[in-house]
Amino acid sequence: MTDRVGGTGLARRRFIAISAAAGLAVPRARASAPPLLWTGTILGAAGSITLHHPDPAIGRALVGQCLDEVARLEGIFSLYRQNSELCCLNRDGVLAAPSLDLVHVLAESRRYGALSGGAFDITVQPLYELYARHFAGFPEDEAGPDAAAIGAALARVDYRAVALHPGRVVLRRPGMAVTLNGIAQGYIADRVGDILRQAGLRHVLLDLGEIRALGGRPDGAPWRVAIRPLHRPGMMGPVLRRVALADQAMATSAGAGTRFDRAGRHHHLFDPRTGRSALGFFSVTVIAPRAMAADALSTAVAVMPAEAGRRLIRRAGVAAFLVGPEGNGSAERAVM
């Protein structure tokens, strides 16, 4: 029988747009102690923490520590809390004394930007704001914002213009804004996983928007996670692949997670070269040793031309499951 920890008290708006959904299938472990399962609202959406500890009271206390860490990091990365570090940076164009967490994520974002040839760009927030405003006024428009408006937004998009100085972060162009939607969720999953690993836990499965597995199940089998891309908000598609995870992480990016129009041609995964929503893949799932890498790489590949995305996957040494616009899936580095 599973020990459920009450999932209350975290009714927060998600600061990371849900890029896709992964269904969890957690088989019953043949272990003397039952798993402790926390389910509830985390980062504004359904989440879960599954862990094994011989003392349920200690297990519950560890879950509490994890939720406290999520709340702390949300205070840094949130786009919806006016006093978060990220909101202050976007509002003022400069942030003094940034936290080590923010500096690390920004530095990694610049690295993934360079690795992907600019496809991964955390400064696309002006495009998101443009599309949100446009479709709020013209919900049936199939064309989207006009070229002049997109060009004006693109003039404020360039990840290389995020300058990291000792004790200070500066946005070098007026009107720039950063979104960490494609990387911070993975970072949070890694931080929570690290807390539990440092506490000595070896059998953990986290679903915090991105998936992180510590070890496998206590019976020696891996965790099994289903890839189920979102067809539209609130509507899951069929299971495309079941993935075995042990000491790995998984992230999925799909435009259907946040759509501006009913047809789904305009969504939150922007190609920084064109300012338009990328349409090369229906969804991209990446499996990597850590969740931040899986998160950033799935976002980058989702907006890249197909062959360039496959080259990035091979160069990064990760596994991926790619679903083209026609709905057909293919595995890269077939280790899944």
Q: What are the tens digits of pLDDT across the range 303-313?
A: 999 999 999 99
- Output the pLDDT for position 29: 39
Does 317 map to a domain? no
CATH number at residue 153: 1.10.3980.10
Cβ 84 vs Cβ 75: under 8 Å: yes
Structural domain count, the chain: 1
Asked if the structure places residue 49 within a domain, the reply is no
**What sign does the CA torsion over 299, 304, 306, 309 have?**
negative
108: in domain: yes
Q: Given this model, what pLDDT does residue 325 score?
A: 77
When pLDDT is cut at 50, 70 and 90, the band that residue 282 belongs to is confident
Decide if 104 is inside a domain: yes
212-267, pLDDT tens digit by residue?
999 999 999 999 998 876 665 556 667 888 899 999 999 999 887 788 888 788 88
Please check whether residue 220 lies inside any domain of the structure: no
pLDDT per position as a tens digit, 87-111: 999 999 999 999 999 999 999 999 9
**Lowest-pLDDT range of 57-66, 130-139, 187-196, 322-331:** 322-331
Q: What is the DSSP letter of 82?
A: T
Residue 254 belongs to a domain = no
Q: What angle do CA 222, 185, 149 make, to 5 degrees?
A: 135
Side-chain half-sphere CA neighbours of 81 within 13 A: 19
- State the amino acid at position 189 in one-letter form: A
The parent domain of residue 111 ranges over: 85-171
Asked if pLDDT for residue 277 goes beyond 80, the answer is yes
Q: Does 67 or 335 have the greater pLDDT score?
A: 67
pLDDT score, position 230 = 63
How much is the pLDDT for 280? 86
In whole angstroms, what is the distance from residue 42 CA to residue 49 CA? 10
**Per-chain mean pLDDT for the chain:** 85
Reported as a single tens digit per residue, the pLDDT across 171-226 is 999 999 999 989 999 999 999 999 999 999 999 999 998 999 999 999 999 999 98
pLDDT at 331: 54
pLDDT given at position 40:
84
Q: What is the secondary structure of 159-218 as a DSSP string?
A: GGGEEEETTEEEE-STT-----TTTHHHHHHHHHHHHHHHTT---EEEESSSEEEES--T
What element of type H or E holds 262? none
Residue 115 resides in a domain: yes
Which letter, b or e, does each residue of 1-29 get, where b requires 16 or more Cβ atoms within 10 Å of its Cβ?
eeeebebeeeebebbbbbbbbbeeebeeb
Model's pTM, two decimal places? 0.87
* Residue 308 resides in a domain: no
For 2-39, write each residue's pLDDT tens digit: 333 333 232 222 222 223 333 333 334 344 568 899 99
The pLDDT of residue 200 is 96
